[in-house]
Structure 1
Amino acid sequence: MAHEAIVQRYSSLARAALSGQTIIDCQADAFAQGNFGSAGYDHASELPEEALRASLGCGNPIAVAELRAGETVVDLGSGGGLDVLLSARRVGPYGKAYGVDASPDMLRLAQANAARAGATNVEFLHGTIEELPLPDASADVIVSNCVVNLSSDKPAVFAEAFRVLKPGGRLGISDVVAEDDADPAQRTAAAQRVGCTAGVLAVGEYRDLLLDCGFLGGALTLAADHGGGVHSAIVQATKPASSPGITIRPMRATDATQVLAIYQAGLDTGNASFETTAPTWENFDHGKLQRLRYVAVDFDTGRVVGWVAASPVSSRPVYAGVVEHSVYVDPACQGRGIGRDLLNTLVSASEAAGIWTIQTGIFPENGPSLLLHQACGFRVVGTRQHIGQHHGRWRDVLFMERRSARV
């Protein structure tokens, strides 16, 4: 269904709610059996009846968002405002809850419900979830309730969520997903029955999309079963935490020049690697795993100030969960915790990707790198004595690894 048609559909539902009707967005049997609407909430009775009647969700993301006093929350596709009002109560008078919706009628409905509830720390914004009307790094938490499945451009939705979240920010949404092995025809029929106009993602597709957009710890918990391998689900993920003024995000091809310059600066120290010249971007790109490469970016200037990337150690299947990595920080930015941020991000992302061992080789003279890796859970497992010549002298290499306790 086209974006305009979706807006028209929900605008008509909003007008019905404004006239006092209880509205539903799926077939009656699915609504009754699938925990849709206000049935998904345990503690919403204090809110206006009008807000409860207009609920179109498929779960309760607020229950898992772990909202804290003073936080800023954004609800993607806020509809009649129920989740915004619940969030506003959780974050208290010094917090703020925003709702974003593409339907002017839904905004009118939500504003009316906020007025009835006496909520003063809420604001409803007109916009799409693919292009949020909010600045970078402005939210602590993003929630959404059965809206992402309506979008025909889900990568844009999560890219925008990543942009708007602060470092360490949390994503907690209810959505509809499919089992990875669900029959395509049954999956489509079930999705249509519960109102998913743009189709549902399979669990594996959902996790991959979150990882591609930069989120860590993508966890999907299946809830109500709608038949045909389709379920309501709670989706939780986080934006990588980072030092003040720094954002960690996936590496892009447009970062090539800055990444290779930082690489070369590290090699010029004489203690980073046996290599003396940074590779071409083509060779760098070919040798690194696509989903395990990140950059640290200065928030004010957009300049890349560090990077981390992993490579497979072998093509043999037995080593599928083993990688080696490199981490480099701009010499002008060292001592700010950027290397730790990058390495912790790689560890979390690698575990989500099923990696059980990360390994690396470090010159014994590179004390800062040894301390960094030990702080991030790596241990020395051996010394490769006189393994190679570097600038005319034989060098030892300490072999370090980190074993996952989760994978």
Structure 2
Amino acid sequence: MATSTELKEIVKQKYSDIAQSEPASGTVSNCGCGCNSQASVPTSCCSPSTDLLEGIQMAESYEKLDGYVANADLGLGCGLPTQFAQIKPGDLVVDLGSGAGNDCFVARAETGENGRVIGLDFTETMVNRARQNADALGYTNVEFLLGDIETMPLPDNLADVVVSNCVMNLVPNKQKAFAETYRILKPGGHFSISDIVLEGELPEGLQRDAELYAGCVSGAIQLVDYLSVVDEAGFLNIRLQKKREIHLPKEVLRNYLSDADIQAYREQGKGIFSVTVYAEK
């Protein structure tokens, strides 16, 4: 099993490759939490064969949200956290795992010119790409920093709102990540975070298959455990703002289950889910 450091390097390399790919022009990837069909990614992160992933929709479209910038949308998310984040004019917003800047630019449309938005990402090429996007747009109140979510280079009690889109599931130490999120939020501040979680045990073969597990569900944990981590970090008023099943086509499940087992799997409510979680400090 890979160590925490090795996992981080795998993710960093993958997203470095994605950051250097051609702009997605708003195209939504089939595999939001790691695979981008337009990017060249290492086989240790996403299988070179994406046939298994066809029809598995992780990401949601941002195109109708104010502030949306197509060149900053790499189709890597699994939700729309900024839509639920209750950002007010003048707020200071921090986006964890900011990528090419998509959520930051949407947040800026909410917080306005008197607010401030900080994007944090640990992939240097992604930070550079986001800065280029901000410069091209002429934004002076959006900045992008290089840093690790487990040890954020940000002061205590800084943010009114924290957002993140399908990133925490890729972080090896979620306890530290949410403790850091708590630290940088102002008292009374809140977060809205979209992520991938599991409910029930996945079929053994499906869980093990690198084409799906390492590419899209790497690091995802059970929803009840995810919410427990948030609670243990000290957050209050924890609630689900949205829950959406990631539909696995029968053609995918047939690689692991009989038709009868597939029906039982569906009826038991097991599977992979995109959730948007809200909590307050």
Q: TM-score, normalised by structure 2?
A: 0.75
Displacement of 1:194 in angstroms is 5.2
2:87 to 44, 61, 67: 67
Paired residue type of 2:64: H
Q: CA deviation digits over 1:206-253, x for unaligned, max 9? A: 1111111001122233213244611111111111xxxxxxxxxxxxxx
Distance in 1 between residues matched to 2:188 and 2:174, nearest whole Å: 22
Counterparts in 2 of 1:175 and 1:20: CA distance versus 1, 3 Å = closer
SS at match of 1:43: coil
Q: CA deviation digits over 1:37-64, x for unaligned, max 9? A: xx43252476433113x23111100111
Residue 34 (structure 1) aligned with residue 57 (structure 2):
yes
Higher normalized contact order (CA 8 Å, seq sep 6+, divided by chain length): 2
Q: CA deviation digits over 1:170-198, x for unaligned, max 9? A: 1101100011x23362455596175233x
Q: TM-score, normalised by structure 1?
A: 0.53
Distance in 2 between residues matched to 1:98 and 1:217, nearest whole Å: 25
Residue 8 (structure 1) aligned with residue 13 (structure 2):
yes
Please tell me whether the aligned partners of residues 77 and 101 of structure 1 are also in contact (alpha carbons under 8 angstroms): yes
Q: What's the Cα RMSD here?
A: 2.6
Counterparts in 2 of 1:222 and 1:214: CA distance versus 1, 3 Å = same
Pairs within 5 Å for 1:185-204: 185=204, 186-187=206-207, 189=209, 192=213, 195-197=216-218, 199-204=219-224
SS at match of 1:231: strand
Please tell me whether the aligned partners of residues 66 and 109 of structure 2 are also in contact (alpha carbons under 8 angstroms): no
Paired residue type of 1:183: L
Distance in 1 between residues matched to 2:84 and 2:208, nearest whole Å: 28
| Counterpart residue number, 2:131 | 111
Paired residue type of 2:87: L
Counterparts in 2 of 1:223 and 1:188: CA distance versus 1, 3 Å = farther
Counterparts in 2 of 1:60 and 1:93: CA distance versus 1, 3 Å = same
Please tell me whether the aligned partners of residues 34 and 224 of structure 1 are also in contact (alpha carbons under 8 angstroms): no
Residue 237 (structure 1) aligned with residue 279 (structure 2):
yes
Displacement of 1:18 in angstroms is 5.9
Structure 1: gaps of 5 or more residues? 240-407
Distance in 1 between residues matched to 2:26 and 2:64, nearest whole Å: 22
Distance in 2 between residues matched to 1:149 and 1:165, nearest whole Å: 20
Residue 219 (structure 1) aligned with residue 264 (structure 2):
no
Paired residue type of 1:8: Q
Q: Which has the higher strand share?
A: 1
Paired residue type of 1:103: T
Counterparts in 2 of 1:19 and 1:176: CA distance versus 1, 3 Å = closer
**Percentage of matched positions with identical amino acids:** 36
Structure label with greater radius of gyration? 1
Please tell me whether the aligned partners of residues 31 and 194 of structure 1 are also in contact (alpha carbons under 8 angstroms): no
Please tell me whether the aligned partners of residues 197 and 274 of structure 2 are also in contact (alpha carbons under 8 angstroms): yes
Please tell me whether the aligned partners of residues 187 and 229 of structure 1 are also in contact (alpha carbons under 8 angstroms): no
Q: How many residues align?
A: 234
Distance in 2 between residues matched to 1:18 and 1:35, nearest whole Å: 19
Paired residue type of 2:104: V
Counterparts in 2 of 1:82 and 1:29: CA distance versus 1, 3 Å = farther
Counterparts in 2 of 1:31 and 1:164: CA distance versus 1, 3 Å = farther
Distance in 1 between residues matched to 2:145 and 2:188, nearest whole Å: 24
Please tell me whether the aligned partners of residues 30 and 194 of structure 1 are also in contact (alpha carbons under 8 angstroms): no
Counterparts in 2 of 1:170 and 1:45: CA distance versus 1, 3 Å = closer
Counterparts in 2 of 1:31 and 1:42: CA distance versus 1, 3 Å = farther
Distance in 1 between residues matched to 2:55 and 2:151, nearest whole Å: 33
1:155 to 169, 175, 180: 175
| Counterpart residue number, 2:99 | 79
Counterparts in 2 of 1:23 and 1:193: CA distance versus 1, 3 Å = farther
Residue 49 (structure 1) aligned with residue 54 (structure 2):
no
Distance in 1 between residues matched to 2:113 and 2:66, nearest whole Å: 20
Displacement of 1:31 in angstroms is 7.1
